[in-house]
Amino acid sequence: MLVFATLGAPERRFRDRSRTKRVAEPEPEPALVTTGRATVVDVGHAFADEAAGAAWLRGAGEDYLAAELRVLNRALHAFRAVTADPDAHTVARARALVARIGYGSGDAVADGLWNDARELVIPRKRERRSAALVPQQYLAAVLTGQEQVLACQELVLRARYDLDHDRPRDAALQVLVALDAAIAELARESKAHDANQRIEELRGRREITTAAAQAALAGPLDEKLLEEVAFTLRRLEASLRARAYASV
């Protein structure tokens, strides 16, 4: 069961719709914003007693949360498609303000109440300082016009999103478009010392990627083709990372 709630909503008041502009204070107070709460209730997972629930909670963590996020995002993806709203987005783990797991009675949990719960904090990844600075330097280069964002970069992101959110057919189709765009766009650049080698590698992936896309049009992908799609996507991502490093 999936329950949505809106929290902290400001009071709705009548406004004169004929007025499209209002006077703004020189130093206005921060505007109130609303937050949404989504609760995934596993109605088929019942505990014999409080001790059983507490034992489950001690062992539940990010893996359990990831499964519940998939439930939420399938619903949001369906909403996006049904309403034809391109601005509707799913929820990434890193973008959630708060993530909690817990147990309690069905009605209480649906209202955000628990017998017991705990908040999950995303562990910070440690990386080399030089690697951490590359995105910042690359972004600065893009914003100052020294570099441009390629079409294949956005297409690769969409393909990764589809693959990570259990939409392999969508991913297969998206990877083929991303691959063609990357081959064409990266061929016009030669900043990385191994750029030509990477482009040839991508060209070598086109036949199997096309086969996967054609299979996706007909129905679900088998495990072998899904692995090929995932591998092509990883090679595209590696090529774009190499381009970013060569740009800074």
| Domain residue extents for the chain | 2-10+25-119, 129-247
DSSP assignment of 69-101, as one string? HHHHHHHHHHHHHHHT-TT-----GGG-S--EE
Please indicate whether residue 160 or residue 150 has the higher confidence score (pLDDT).
160
Please indicate whether residue 123 or residue 111 has the higher confidence score (pLDDT).
111
User: Which residues, 6+ apart, have CB-to-CB distance to 166 below 8 Å?
Assistant: 70, 74
Helix (H, G, I), strand (E, B) or coil at 25: coil
Computed over its alpha carbons, how large is the radius of gyration of the chain? 23
User: Which residues, 6+ apart, have CB-to-CB distance to 11 below 8 Å?
Assistant: none
Q: Which of 139, 97, 138 is nearest to 119 (CA)?
A: 97
Give the integer Cα–Cα distance in Å for 67 and 63.
Answer: 7
> Mean pLDDT over all residues of the chain?
82
pLDDT tens, position by position, 32-69: 777 888 888 887 778 888 888 888 888 888 888 888 88
Encoded tokens for 188:
């016009």
